């Protein structure tokens, strides 16, 4: 049946890509835990992913917290439930908005840069040069990025959580007229360790997905500048979709009881 052929072909391509990606991830993770570990490269990647993402991450978090407080107020006022705003802000930020928005921002900033850098190294034979210098490209290029992504994203999200809650606090106190002490007490009393921990676990998974997609698409790019451009786009799009997809499954793992 001619109509079934394209469906079958697409399905086979999907399976082949999933297989290649799984092997790539397994190879990268395996090199991440076997010596030699390149601490200098890991540190450099941690600075790139964490420190240089702070302005983007912080501004996203503070405006998200501010909008969240404002929108919650306008909605909750209909039910005379304005006092729940500190609770809504802190839970929304720590469980969902902090990790997801930080993940998407880092995917756009860092995932794209990784794909472009490694893709350029591929098309200019720098990865072949690594091989001929008896240096495994997975160990030198992929493993440090994976380790840095997994360890740095939770730190970044923790900072985003604090800034986001602060954004909600500022709007609630200076615009909506909340009492500062009561707002802070409600926030601290309501938030639980599990709320923050689930967000940090999500961040570690998102960090893995972003760096994996950046490395995978860059490593397999071909065809010169156009290929590097396509790799960059694919890295950001696939990381963003995977972040939203895995966000659901991790949320279900933590809270669907």
Partner 1 sequence: MSPRTNGAAQKIQIRGLHKSFGPKVVLDGLDLDVAVGESVVVIGGSGTGKSVLLKCILGLLTPDSGSIKIDGEEVVGLGSRDRDRVLRKFGMLFQNAALFDSLPVWENVAFGLIQGEGMDRTDAKKVAIEKLAAVGMTAEVGELSPAELSGGMRKRVGLARAIATAPEIIFFDEPTTGLDPIMGDVINDLIVKCVQELGATTLSITHDMASARKIAHRVAMLYDGKIIWAGPVANIDGSGNDYVDQFIHGRAEGPIQMQVRAD
Residue closer to partner 1 by CB (options 39, 129) is 129
> How much of the chain is helix, strand and coil, in % rounded to 5?
90, 0, 10
Residue closer to partner 1 by CB (options 133, 193) is 133
- Name which position in 125, 192, 194, 252 contacts partner 1 (CB under 8 A): 125
CB 208 within 8 A of CB 49: no
Binding of residue 9 to partner 1 (CB under 8 A): no
Residue closer to partner 1 by CB (options 134, 256) is 134
Q: Compute the C-alpha angle 48/49/54, nearest 5°.
A: 95
Binding of residue 131 to partner 1 (CB under 8 A): yes
Question: In the bound complex, what is the minimum distance in angstroms from residue 67's beta carbon to partner 1?
Answer: 39
Binding of residue 30 to partner 1 (CB under 8 A): no
- Name which position in 24, 63, 76, 140 contacts partner 1 (CB under 8 A): 140
Binding of residue 161 to partner 1 (CB under 8 A): no
Question: In the bound complex, what is the minimum distance in angstroms from residue 118's beta carbon to partner 1?
Answer: 11
What angle in degrees, to the nearest 10, is found between the helix axes of 143-174 and 39-49? 30
Binding of residue 134 to partner 1 (CB under 8 A): yes
d(CA 234, CA 230): 6
- Name which position in 22, 43, 124, 233 contacts partner 1 (CB under 8 A): 124
- For residue 252, give the 3-state DSSP assignment: helix
Residue closer to partner 1 by CB (options 10, 124) is 124
| Number of residues that this document lists for the chain | 257
- Name which position in 133, 177, 256, 257 contacts partner 1 (CB under 8 A): 133
Residue closer to partner 1 by CB (options 117, 195) is 117
Q: Which residues make Cβ contacts (< 8 Å) with residue 175, sequence separation at least 6? A: 70
b/e map of 27-65 (b: 16 or more CB within 10 Å)? ebbebbeeeeebeebbeebbebbbeebeebbbebbbebb
Binding of residue 136 to partner 1 (CB under 8 A): yes
Q: Contact letters (x/-) for partner 1, 62-91, by CB under 8 A?
A: ------------------------------
The DSSP secondary structure of 115-133, one letter per residue, reads HHHHHHHHHTTHHHHHHHT
Q: How many other C-beta atoms are found inside a 10 Å radius of the C-beta of residue 183?
A: 21
User: Which listed range, 104-112, 116-124, 158-166, 206-214, lies at the site for partner 1 (CB under 8 A)?
Assistant: 116-124
CA-only gyration radius of the chain, Å: 21
Q: Which two tokens stand for residue 229?
A: 């451009």
Query: Which residues bind to partner 1, rule: CB under 8 A?
Result: 117, 120-121, 124-126, 128-129, 131-136, 140
């Amino acid at each position: 049946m001619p109509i079934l052929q394209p469906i079958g072909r697409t399905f086979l391509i999907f399976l082949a890509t999933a297989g290649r990606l799984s092997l790539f991830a397994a190879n990268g993770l395996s090199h991440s835990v076997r010596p030699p570990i390149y601490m200098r490269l890991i540190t450099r990647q941690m600075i790139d992913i964490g420190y240089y993402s702070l302005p983007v991450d912080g501004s996203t978090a503070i405006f998200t917290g501010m909008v969240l407080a404002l929108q919650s107020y306008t909605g909750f006022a209909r039910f005379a439930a304005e006092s729940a705003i500190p609770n809504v802000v802190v839970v929304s930020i720590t469980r969902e908005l902090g990790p997801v928005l930080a993940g998407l921002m880092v995917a756009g900033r860092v995932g794209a840069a990784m794909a472009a850098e490694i893709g350029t190294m591929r098309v200019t034979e720098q990865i072949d040069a690594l091989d001929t210098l008896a240096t495994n490209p997975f160990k030198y290029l992929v493993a440090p990025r994976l380790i840095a992504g997994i360890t740095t994203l939770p730190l970044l999200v923790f900072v985003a959580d604090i800034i986001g809650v602060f954004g909600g606090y500022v709007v609630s106190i200076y615009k909506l007229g909340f009492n500062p002490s009561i707002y802070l007490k409600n926030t601290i009393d309501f938030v639980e360790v599990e709320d923050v921990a689930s967000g940090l676990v999500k961040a570690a998974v998102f960090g893995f997905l972003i760096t994996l997609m950046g490395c995978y698409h860059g490593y397999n790019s071909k065809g010169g500048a156009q290929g590097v451009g396509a790799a960059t786009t694919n890295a950001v799009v696939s990381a963003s979709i995977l972040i939203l997809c895995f966000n659901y499954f991790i949320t279900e793992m933590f809270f669907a009881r």
